[in-house]
Structure 1
């Protein structure tokens, strides 16, 4: 009887001691997962910032040397071309001077991105943007055609061959944003001139 009682107590003890051990194991696994995710995000953030810094320094040098009127975002590496630089009003046809500018700018920009970070690049995005004049559909059509014509030129024959062009062709997309991302003044009014633009962005995939 006593032995039976002892066996019962031992089983209860073993059962009760199992749960703290299991809980500790789960906590450890969860902590490892969190550390991996945090590390991955840190690496991704580091790559993004390093790439943005490289784009900013390398591309700015090219812009300065050739007097190209382009804005480069220091934090994201995003490049912005104003409408006056690229198109006439309500037109989707690239100006001759815009083509000359892209012939200088694009090879340097693409080499900067793909040289050290090509394995991380998932997309190169060309976005067309308009102001708030005219309807959403009209502006969507115009912005899409402008983005498409920029893509058509920079991966076409007219611009010639340049390093990593073959990779760019696989990654590039054209998107029309219509008037969905307007640029505002300090008083919250629409800056129509700044809103009419073409942007070049890149997406990074760390998987």
Structure 2
């Protein structure tokens, strides 16, 4: 009787001991997976930052002596086109001089960023921005149409053929930002002339071809 009781108790004890052990093991496995994923994301982010620095340095070197009327940000390779260069007031139609400027600028810029880093370029982003005059919706529409006009020209027939144009056609997107990202003066007032702009930037993803 006592032996039978002890065997029953032992079996129950073994069953009850199994589940905490299994739960602890599962928790450990999940923690390891999370740490691996976090480490992988951190490494990817670091590599992408290093790549971006190299791309930005190449862009700066290409255009530092250029007379093309664009502003290239040394820190992120972003290119800014002012409204006066690109459009008439309240218009989304590219000026003739804007088209000529883009014909000179775009092939050089695209070749610079795709030549050594094309496998990692995931997007070419065209962003339209306005000042703070008018409603948000009106400016959203205007900024979107302006971004689209620039994107359409960059991959259209009028600009002609250039190296990596086929890749740009797959990667390019146009976004209207309305007055969400205004440029401010030193006294925090809105710099309306500077705020009315179109920006060209790239995005990197080192994992896109995996």
TM range (shorter): 0.7 to 0.9
Name the count of aligned residue pairs: 206
- Compared CA separation, residues 64 and 113, structure 1 to 2 (3 A): closer
- Compared CA separation, residues 51 and 102, structure 1 to 2 (3 A): farther
Q: In the alignment, which residue of structure 1 is the partner of 2:129?
A: 129
Shift of 1:150: 0.5
Shift of 1:116: 4.7
Is the CA contact 2:58–2:113 (under 8 Å) kept in the aligned structure 1?
Answer: no
Distance 1:194 1:38 in 2: 39
Is the CA contact 2:59–2:113 (under 8 Å) kept in the aligned structure 1?
Answer: no
SS at structure 2 position matched to 1:11: helix
Q: In the alignment, which residue of structure 2 is the partner of 1:71?
A: 72
- Compared CA separation, residues 183 and 45, structure 1 to 2 (3 A): same
Q: In the alignment, which residue of structure 2 is the partner of 1:192?
A: 192
Q: In the alignment, which residue of structure 2 is the partner of 1:37?
A: 37
Structure 1 regions of 5+ residues with no counterpart? none
Q: In the alignment, which residue of structure 1 is the partner of 2:53?
A: 53
Shift of 1:19: 2.7
RMSD over aligned CA atoms reads 2.4
Structure 2 regions of 5+ residues with no counterpart? none
Shift of 1:50: 2.6
Is the CA contact 1:71–1:81 (under 8 Å) kept in the aligned structure 2?
Answer: no
After superposition, what is the alpha-carbon deviation per residue over 1:96-116, rounded to whole angstroms, capped at 9, x for unaligned? 333333223322333344445
Distance 1:2 1:184 in 2: 87
Q: In the alignment, which residue of structure 2 is the partner of 1:23?
A: 23
SS at structure 1 position matched to 2:64: helix
Is the CA contact 1:51–1:113 (under 8 Å) kept in the aligned structure 2?
Answer: no
**TM-score by structure 1 length?**
0.84
